[in-house]
Amino acid sequence: MAVDRRPLADFLPREQLRQMAHTTRRYSGASAIAISPDRRELAYVSDRGGTYAVWAVSLGGDEPRLVIAIDGGAVRGLCWSAKGDLIASADRGGTERWQLYVRRPDGTIHHFAVTEGERVQHHLSWNAASPDGMRVAYSTNAREPADVDAVLADLADGATRPLAQAPAWHVIGGWSPDGRTLLVMRVQDNSDQDLVAIDVESADAAELTRHSGDAQHVPAGWLRDGRALAISDLGREHLALVAIDPRSGERETIDGPEWDIELAVSSTDGRVQVWSVNVDGFSTLRWRRDGRLAGERALGGQCEDLVVSADGALASFVRMGATAPAQVWVLDTESGDARPVVVTTTPVPAAELVEPEQVRIAAPEGDIPALVYRPRRAAGPVPAVLYPHGGPEAQSRPAYNHVLGPLQCLVARGIAVVVPNIHGSTGYGRSWQSAIHKDWGGIDLRDLRAVSEWMATRPEFDPQRLAVYGGSYGGFAALTCVTRLPERWRCAVDLFGVANLVTMLENAQPNWRRFNARWIGDVERDRARLAERSPITRIDEIRCPLLVIQGANDPRVPKDESDQVVRRLRALGRRVEYLVFEDEGHGFTKRRNHQAAYARIVEFLTAELLG
């Protein structure tokens, strides 16, 4: 068949909206959208100017205007206070050293929490500002690099005082309606968290969720009656929306579907709650007012981000579908009317893109959910790419994001794409997610083997033209595939993937080490197993050409991981191409770099699979 050589640029949105890693619980609470206190404007983070900055759009329909741009920096999260201060977190060069800046109502921009230090990070939640707009709470590791404390700051002068200091990672979860109490999440790992209610004057903390074993407790604010709102799977396989009495600990389940509640927010006054249910990858939005369910809306795609105005009159969310890039919507919680206020588009028409087929692939530990994207016009068996997602505690969904655009480009060129949610993925229950803990290179390898065997035996795929490609944990999965199943692959792409579990743990940033010990393993006690499971141990097994891409400033997967792979393969005389971005970290903050990296991935896979 003739290859459609339409360039990748045609498949990339004209602007990218900043994505949020909500299932990585230590980064929960952040949002890239914010509603002004008078409900007249919406701010959002976009790269429409070349890198991530803050744009604002009038809800009356004006064109977006640039409101916060940090010189040399990329914005991640937003919070709009009742006094009109718009707070933004931003880092430089992909280092994830997030610092806080504030735009005053008069339009001036000031440093708010900008701390010198190689590893200091400040984390901002969407509901971090007090109800009166005078103070803001945020998380920081300024005291001790290995810990992330909760601190309270005066919005006028930035003066701070500690609220929670401990060997833990704390995340701000919202102020009580009376402004006296702050809900804070204490993170153990992605499947185990606790909530504490902190008196903001005395800093006294009350434990709300004591439990044994792993249980998730993700803060979502407060109800009007003084109960805390949380997403929790305590005693359940799936995440429910619950109200917790801070005095008695008694719980009420507000919504307990047989799927996960993925996002939930509550208005500052506690009268309105909005939440999203993840039904096999597709989101359904629900909301209630004054304790009664007020509406429901199936989005036909993924709810990526969610906030609500202080009075609950408006909610805003980001929607993505398999053929539609991110759109920012506004929902009237009283009438139920909803409309997009920011629409991103691609040069290629949506009608020329493909919707995935949802399948289940048989595997030893249970059928694996997967999305399969097939070329529209295929004469005979086609090549196919296996794309394991990052995380691993994340989920591939039918959402047109920075990854799916390039995958749709491959499909248009006649290459099928198989996107599985192997063990470790979120969205399919606690047992499925936690199966990966301390078993990297174990259960996931068995799943990847099952998926690759399924691909090799499908009549619509050419078993001699299979590739594997992934980023971050997905890069580890790709390297695992080519070192443990080397006979299967024509080529592979490793995008900032973990190659050596031992050095990954040894070189981790201090505030990740506590999680990594529970998540991946203890570098001393488990060294032999970690070495045996590491792709670098079997690097000489690789038979296929490999493309490796890395950000020089990556704080999550240090550049040394990719260096080890490239150095060993070159010493062996194998075909390996190495592309390093000196001004990026774990992912891309600059549009030009994003386009260059993914264009090279598309061209590499096209050349190797189609000739």
Distance between CA atoms of residues 51 and 230, nearest Å = 34
Say which residue, 2 or 536, is predicted with more confidence.
536
The pLDDT, as a whole number, for residue 517 is 87
Q: What is the mean pLDDT of the chain?
A: 94
* Three-class secondary structure of residue 417 per DSSP: strand
Distance between CA atoms of residues 102 and 154, nearest Å = 12
The pLDDT, as a whole number, for residue 322 is 94
Angle at 20 between CA 31 and CA 130, to 5 degrees: 20
CA distances from 123 to 56, 133, 149, 235, 377 (A): 22, 18, 10, 30, 47
Give tens-digit pLDDT for 205-217.
999 998 988 999 9
The pLDDT, as a whole number, for residue 58 is 95
**Does the pLDDT of residue 463 top 60, yes or no?**
yes
Give tens-digit pLDDT for 23-66.
888 889 999 999 999 999 999 999 999 999 999 999 987 889 99
The pLDDT, as a whole number, for residue 1 is 47
**Does the pLDDT of residue 118 top 80, yes or no?**
no
Give tens-digit pLDDT for 153-179.
999 999 999 999 999 999 999 999 999
The pLDDT, as a whole number, for residue 511 is 82
Give tens-digit pLDDT for 267-283.
999 999 999 999 999 99
My answer on whether omega of the bond before 392 falls inside 30° of 0, hence cis, is: yes
Mean pLDDT lowest among 473-477, 507-511, 589-593: 507-511
**Does the pLDDT of residue 402 top 80, yes or no?**
yes
CB 208 within 8 A of CB 196: yes
**Does the pLDDT of residue 2 top 70, yes or no?**
no
Tell me the mean pLDDT in the region 460-485. 97
From 237, 193, 245, 200, select the one nearest 219 (Cα to Cα): 193
**Does the pLDDT of residue 239 top 80, yes or no?**
yes
Q: Which helix (H) or strand (E) holds 45?
A: strand 41-46
The pLDDT, as a whole number, for residue 503 is 94
Tell me the mean pLDDT in the region 400-422. 95
How is 142-202 classified by DSSP, letter by letter? SS-TT-BEEEEEETTT--EEEEE-SSSEEEEEEE-TTSSEEEEEEEEETTEEEEEEEETTT
The pLDDT, as a whole number, for residue 3 is 59
The pLDDT, as a whole number, for residue 587 is 87
**Does the pLDDT of residue 115 top 70, yes or no?**
yes
Contacting residues for 203 by C-beta, under 8 A, at least 6 apart:
161, 162, 163, 164
Residue 328 identity:
V
The pLDDT, as a whole number, for residue 589 is 86
Contacting residues for 39 by C-beta, under 8 A, at least 6 apart:
59, 309, 311, 313, 314
Tell me the mean pLDDT in the region 102-107. 96
Contacting residues for 190 by C-beta, under 8 A, at least 6 apart:
23, 24, 25, 393, 426, 433, 515, 519
Q: Are strands 86-92 and 73-80 parallel, antiparallel or unpaired?
A: antiparallel
Distance between CA atoms of residues 424 and 470, nearest Å = 15
**Does the pLDDT of residue 117 top 90, yes or no?**
no
The pLDDT, as a whole number, for residue 558 is 92
CA distances from 396 to 8, 282, 479 (A): 21, 11, 19
Q: What is the pTM of this model?
A: 0.94
Token duo for residue 435: 């199966």
Residues listed for the chain? 611
